[in-house]
Structure 1
Amino acid sequence: MSTSTTDPMIGRLIDGRYQVRSRVARGGMATVYLATDLRLERRVALKVMHGHLADDSQYKARFIQEARSAARLAHPNVVNVYDQGQDQETAYLVMEYLPGITLRELLGEHPVLTNDQALDILEAVLAGLAAAHRNGIVHRDLKPENVLLADDGRIKISDFGLARAVTAQTATGNALLGTIAYLSPELVTRGVADARSDIYAVGIMLYEMLAGEQPYKGDQPFQIAQQHANDTVPTPSTKNPRVPVEIDELVLWATARDPEQRPRDARAMLDQVLEVRRLLGEGGGTPATTTMQHTMVLPPAAELAATGETQVLGTRARARTSPQPVNSTLALARASERRHQRGIWLFVVVLLLAAIAGGTGWYFGAGPGSQVMIPNVSGLEPAVATSELEGLDLVVAETPEPVFSVDVPAGLVAGTDPQIGAAVAHGATVTLLVSQGPEPLPIPELVGQTEEVATQRIADASFSKATTDYRFDDADRGIVIGALGQGPDGAIDLVPGETYGEQQPVTLVVSLGPIPSVTGMGVDEASETLEGVGLIASTAAGLADFHDEIPAGAVIRAEIPEGPVREGATIELVLSKGIEQRQVPDIVGKTWGEAKPLLDQAGFRIEFQNGASEFLSAFPGSIVRSTNPDAGTSLDKGSTVTVRLGVD
């Protein structure tokens, strides 16, 4: 297992719940991380789809299919899937975490396993696979990389990303999605897969565990595919003489080129594996007797289906120094000859058994005992789902049952009762579970809290944290100043005490603190101050004004743009032009009542000459005799003009 300290996912909080700790493995479709479920306080395996595949609907559908397929299975030999979702552009699965190694890693260290070790792993794989086949699921990508060997001894199958229903036909274009070394001949030639295709892959893995290598090799994938289609898999004893004939025959049975000659499903092969272990005893794959050994002739799947049980036919002396490939066709012919010699009474028994088997097959296949698998109608309109179910001879309850659903929009079918995938009798009643959308939950108090506290409250309230909108505000830095949700027409304000849908996204609006004042600073100092908080200072607009106190070239004020101000915003600086120059008005000869408003309007202070000017200024009719300085002289606004008054 490997980890990466540069992986941007490390340390990330997914959906406000899953804290990513380290990277466990990376594949062609996704990366698996070790994470902590903060809500349930447990370690989980977080499988994250590669970002470049997120826009590919086909890959995303396979990713979601893995969750749905594995979620339908509850078996000790299948990795549990706990959750599935999407955080922004990140699609993920949450799975059971199993510390240990894969079968591929084990074979890398120990290429050849003992017979007992191989059968132990085979038995666990077939047990988990039998549960999948029983639930109508074909794995389609069995290989040592997808077999997990936990430190505590548990063995589990993972990665149902290519899984399909047993009855589904796979298009030729998708046939080679599995690993080429384990593809069955029918997948190579016709692009179709069923449960027997999984059995073929299991047989190849058994060969590899015992022989120390894969049966077919080539420089190009198509060369290996051609060998799968045209050649017969050799027995592992040709590479490893310690492999007994019984296990050789298991490999030949599982890897027969004709699917009809293989076990019909994992349960049938598992039964035969258990019988092999019984015959070989518990002595490391060594037959229980040394002079006479049982040899199994494994019948085709069709014959097994008719009898419903695993057969062990005949015995023969085993006299070889190294195991040789078994000719299954010849063995079957000899077994058939022996059966014909058993007498007429056995023929009668066979007829009776055939009649019973035929009657049983009719009863459960087409008669009253036959069953129907409830199809996946999730996401359909209730009327469409009803039509599909009734077409399978099922009765749909008149009144649907309302349920809350995070994944299915309101008004569409979220599931069924009995559940999707369940086998029920013809004419059984199925109740549609119609989504009401996410469950409305109370909104907690978020404004005024720190971002960390608010994020935890969002998780505790069963909402999902979307993004954080950082804005400049008068509130202290890091304090939540608002919370936004997603409504039908866009963003909405989330008010504490009101309700909002479960697991729906919440955007926190967090203060970056107030914009610092730059009044009176030089341009360079003001720019440095604003850039220190993530803003851009600009004088490009050429804004300037006169100011009585701030010297020319210094900043009078910063023009704040309308609306939310975020990091990276541009702030225009208004610069001072210094004190404005005004001309002394021509007021000589005017009455004081006429002259004073002109001096006030020009912004000058007034001073009177010696004598009775102060007295005379009280009389608006007084005449201005002179000014100092003279009319037309330019002075700073606020300068003093001396006025001499007189009377006629």
Structure 2
Amino acid sequence: MDTQTSDPLVGRLLDGRYRVGSRVAKGGMATVYEALDTRLDRIVALKVMHSGLGDDAEFARRFVQEARSAARLSHPNVVAVFDQGDDNGTLFLAMEYVPGRTLRDLVRQFSPMSPSRALELLTPVLSALCAAHDAGIVHRDIKPENVLIANDGTVKVADFGLARASTASGNTATQGMLMGTVSYLAPELVTDGRADARSDVYSAGILLYELLTGEKPHSGESPIQVAYQHVHADVPPPSRLEASIPPYVDALVQRATARDRDLRPADARVFSRQVNRVRSALDEGLQDDPELTGDLTVPIQAMRQDSGYDDGYSRSAAAAMPAPAGVGGVAFPQNPGHNDTIVVEPELIASALKPGSVARPPAAKRRRGRGLATLLAVLLIAGAVGTAAWFVGVQRYTHAPNLVNLTEVAASAKAGEIGLKIEKRESTFSETVRAGLIIATDPGAGERIRKTGTIGLTVSKGPERYGVPKLTGLSQEAASQAIENTNLRLGKISTVYNENVPAGVVFGQYPKVNTSVKRDALVLLTVSKGKRPITVPDQTGKRQIQAKTALRRLGFTVKIDLAFSEKVPEGRVISQDPRTGIRYTRDTIKLLVSKGPALREVPNVRSKNVEDAKRILTAAGFKVEIRRGPFDLHLNLVAAQNPTAGTMAKPGSTVTITIL
């Protein structure tokens, strides 16, 4: 069945605002959807609590309270909480949508990681926890699934406060219970249910152990067995699994995961300072730093003596525990995975986890009424069977040598010393083992193999790297296909106006051409939107210099023509082509500029009387100025005129006449 189409929430509009899209993830308490905030027109992540939780008034109250607290956290490494709501009993959080992967994906693909890389990933997680602890907020559920890796590499922590809201619920399924992901659960959460900043430090320490080794420090057939080990077993040094890990990194992990919370860093800020010291030592290439190791080392032996348990006892006792269907009527999932959630009454689990309460297998009960002879017979038979088994089975086997990090030639020689052969079965990429060296063997080092058997080899091809192809000049679609064909991933696409590159064509890329990058590395593209459209402003009626300057500043080319105009004053724009609309840089805009009215011929008024001369000149469009000659005979006749008759002059200009 298609879970997307069968999900009743998909397509629904929550709170009149959030249009629910495809499902992103599902956990023990909530399901996350991609959604559209129709009010702000943006994509958000919508975390919807599972059905029934909204009916619990106490849970709803605490959920709102914790959501408000989380919303106050404004930090680049914290997934922002935008809103919370209740749509007829459907409780939800609207959060920042972070496209990318979770830290769980990186653990699966790349662990075990080098100490430098592991601490590089842990640092932003601690930065987020610092902000939370400074604000008095305890996360309570730090795990790889709650650490998001955005496509640009930014690390963000999600789900602040939700675990606390769940434990405060009045629901009969969770009231007074402990709720959390068992693999990362601090001992105090198991024994008394009380958490503080040091509980987050413990979970972060477990997270670091898993990054370094690729495995969790505690395992079992049921969650309660794992919880037992959190309480009674120290986290082993990661160098037991990865011998190259320096002692001060071991000490850092064991300090953070000390079972006694008083021995851990007081909060994420203190832990972060310790991490920075360790990173500095790693950057210097130190194989050991006795002073740093001593500062970080936890008095483990004293802890074991105080508690009365050691690793051997606690691990064997946990392993001997049955996989219970439940404790005190509370059910546990069988065969737990990495994300199993444990829900337990603290008082009951504290009682169940006492070493004296470990149930003995029924087969171990002594049978009464058996005689000594029967016992001796059984022992004799067992001895005979054991001896036969040794001859038939064990005697024919040896243990596989450690061939990891050897060349095939060296591995063949080492295996041959004890009569074994080697066979190359697989080549694979490795970030930590250089090309040509052995990554893994089947069977592994120390495992049983027939004395004439063959060890299968997995040989490193070195780091998986791909060259970035040339993408500039391609269409966006072609560039995307080229990226996919080279095992890279398309990252952010920026669209920018470009006056020289046609729309839809790539003219920028990062990383540059032929750069060697890891598989699935993001390639960022800059794609042309073509020429920037420019709205043409109407310059009609404006002065020539003003209109020309305004158009040139917008990027247009301006062409000016002149024409006489009886209506438009000289030097002003008569018309413009185009007058309005959209054009682009370097397009031509034509302006027709007025030269004023056309010139007119000055009439001949010599020998005319004054009144006739004035009438004739005024009718021709000229102004008249009268002057009397030096010898005024009072004849009122025009003796001279300026400009002279027949001259072309501007209408409205003055003609001076001299009279006698």
Asked if Structure 1 and Structure 2 have the same fold, meaning a TM-score greater than 0.5 normalized by the shorter chain, the answer is: no
Give TM-score scaled by structure 1 length: 0.43
